[in-house]
């Protein structure tokens, strides 16, 4: 058995907006109708990032939903890390507008899904959770859970911890509240190597959660207060703060578990995934900058299966023409660039039963 993945190939010189229409017609079928509240989940991009999904593509999805008589809203959640411009609902709305996601431009409301404070959500148990994974439940942002249908628009790009970021990443991290994001990051752990530590105290100053304090010449971390935002790790020039050796593997397992909880939260309603393999950067849309482009633009995929669409995206990135300056070779270019294997979270998601990595690709004008 394989899942259907529909592909709009940008290399074939067809109109991309019509391609989005075609992909939606094929995958939505008759499942969105009059009066349905439809959450269109996007990543608004961090301030200074410019490779997030273009607002014009999101507008086209909004128009499609309105054409069906639905009531769309475009939505994202706040971030765990505090140093960007999307940490609070107010900041996230301002950044959305700054990056081109406004009600006026999109033709529908822009809503922060985990309002009022980044913790607004409903908790769902992860069925079949592995004993050694700390994520047993997922708290899914309330405006996403309460929608009648969800369309998840994911930018396919690299990610420091998961290798590739696509639909699974968007479900597990992008659709959840701050406490759920914390649980996933806590899985990668945080270690202080006191042999490398020079006792400068910069990590303590950088921690916005007061989770670090100097004890003598060493920083000590309060696990209860720590949000695993990793700001301290990026601050330390001496590389004295690291993840567990297998931290990225553990993170990906946790991510897949959180995604499984999100899928459960949305069960019984249509969930459509569109993956945009455009502007493929080594880092995610939370990064500013996210790095130079890795491949030529490929196209857009649509599916009802988050595992299949991510597996197909990974394969298409591997087949794409690589930009000069990059040396990674297939398989899993994005994983290699980020020193991990992207397949860890894809395989874990499949094990948890939220999709199949076997797919059949249908090429055409999205239809």
Nearer to ligand SF4, 44 or 228 (CB): 228
Nearer to ligand SF4, 197 or 361 (CB): 197
If one counts every other C-beta atom within 10 angstroms of the C-beta of residue 11, the result is 11
Nearer to ligand SF4, 104 or 237 (CB): 237
Alpha-carbon distances, residue 47 vs 53, 84, 150 (angstroms): 14, 7, 25
Maximum distance among all Cα pairs of the chain, rounded to whole angstroms: 65
Shortest separation between residue 130's beta carbon and ligand SF4, angstroms: 24
Distance CA 181, CA 170 (A): 11
Q: Are 155 and 278 in contact (CB under 8 A)?
A: yes
Nearer to ligand SF4, 136 or 196 (CB): 196
At 26 the three-state DSSP class reads helix
Please report, as ranges, the residues that interact with ligand SF4 according to CB under 6 A: 190, 192, 197-203, 206-207, 209, 211-212, 219, 221, 226-232, 235-236, 238, 240-241
Shortest separation between residue 79's beta carbon and ligand SF4, angstroms: 12
Shortest separation between residue 219's beta carbon and ligand SF4, angstroms: 5
Nearer to ligand SF4, 222 or 246 (CB): 222
Nearer to ligand SF4, 131 or 224 (CB): 224
Shortest separation between residue 181's beta carbon and ligand SF4, angstroms: 12
Q: What are phi and psi of 270, to 5 degrees?
A: -65, 130
Torsion of CA 100, 103, 107, 112, to 10 degrees: 90
Shortest separation between residue 203's beta carbon and ligand SF4, angstroms: 3
Nearer to ligand SF4, 198 or 339 (CB): 198
Distance CA 175, CA 110 (A): 15
Shortest separation between residue 197's beta carbon and ligand SF4, angstroms: 3
Shortest separation between residue 193's beta carbon and ligand SF4, angstroms: 8
> For 16-20, which contacts have Cβ atoms below 8 Å and span 24 or more sequence positions?
16/57, 16/300, 17/56, 17/57, 17/60, 18/365, 18/366, 19/299, 19/300, 19/365, 19/366, 20/57, 20/60, 20/61, 20/64, 20/274, 20/300, 20/366
Q: Before 95, cis peptide (omega within 30)?
A: no
Shortest separation between residue 225's beta carbon and ligand SF4, angstroms: 7
Alpha-carbon distances, residue 261 vs 136, 154, 248, 275 (angstroms): 8, 18, 20, 20
Nearer to ligand SF4, 104 or 224 (CB): 224
> Tell me, what DSSP letter sits at residue 12?
G
């Amino acid at each position: 058995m394989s899942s259907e993945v529909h592909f709009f190939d940008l290399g074939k010189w067809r109109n991309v907006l019509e391609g989005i229409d075609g992909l939606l017609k094929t995958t939505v079928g008759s499942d969105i109708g009059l009066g349905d509240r439809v959450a269109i989940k996007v990543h608004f991009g961090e301030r200074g990032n410019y490779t997030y999904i273009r607002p014009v593509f999101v507008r086209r999805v909004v128009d499609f939903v309105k054409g069906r008589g639905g009531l769309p809203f475009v939505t994202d959640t706040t971030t765990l890390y505090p140093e960007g411009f999307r940490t609070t609902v107010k900041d996230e709305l301002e950044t959305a507008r700054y990056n081109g996601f406004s009600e006026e431009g999109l033709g529908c409301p822009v809503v922060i899904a985990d309002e009022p404070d980044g913790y607004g959500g409903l908790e769902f148990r992860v069925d079949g959770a592995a004993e050694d994974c700390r994520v047993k439940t997922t708290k899914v942002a309330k405006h996403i859970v309460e929608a009648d249908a969800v369309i998840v628009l994911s930018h396919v790009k690299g990610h420091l911890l998961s290798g590739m970021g696509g639909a699974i990443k968007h479900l597990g991290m992008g659709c959840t509240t701050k406490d759920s994001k914390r649980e996933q990051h806590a899985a990668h752990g945080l270690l202080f190597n006191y042999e490398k530590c020079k006792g400068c105290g910069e990590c303590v100053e950088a921690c916005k959660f007061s989770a670090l304090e100097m004890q003598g010449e060493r920083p000590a971390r309060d696990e209860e207060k720590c949000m695993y935002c990793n700001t301290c790790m990026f601050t330390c020039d001496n590389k004295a703060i690291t993840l567990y050796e297998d931290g990225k593997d553990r993170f990906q397992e946790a991510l897949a578990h959180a995604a499984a909880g999100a899928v459960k939260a949305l069960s019984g309603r249509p969930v459509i995934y569109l993956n945009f393999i455009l502007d493929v950067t080594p880092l995610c849309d939370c990064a500013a900058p996210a790095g130079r482009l890795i491949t030529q633009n490929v196209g857009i995929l649509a599916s009802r299966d988050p595992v299949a669409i991510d597996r197909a995206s990974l394969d298409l990135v591997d087949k794409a023409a690589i930009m000069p300056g990059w040396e990674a070779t297939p398989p899993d270019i994005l994983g290699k660039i980020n020193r991990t294997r992207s397949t860890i979270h894809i395989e874990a998601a499949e094990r948890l039963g939220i999709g199949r990595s076997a797919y059949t690709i249908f090429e055409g004008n999205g239809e």
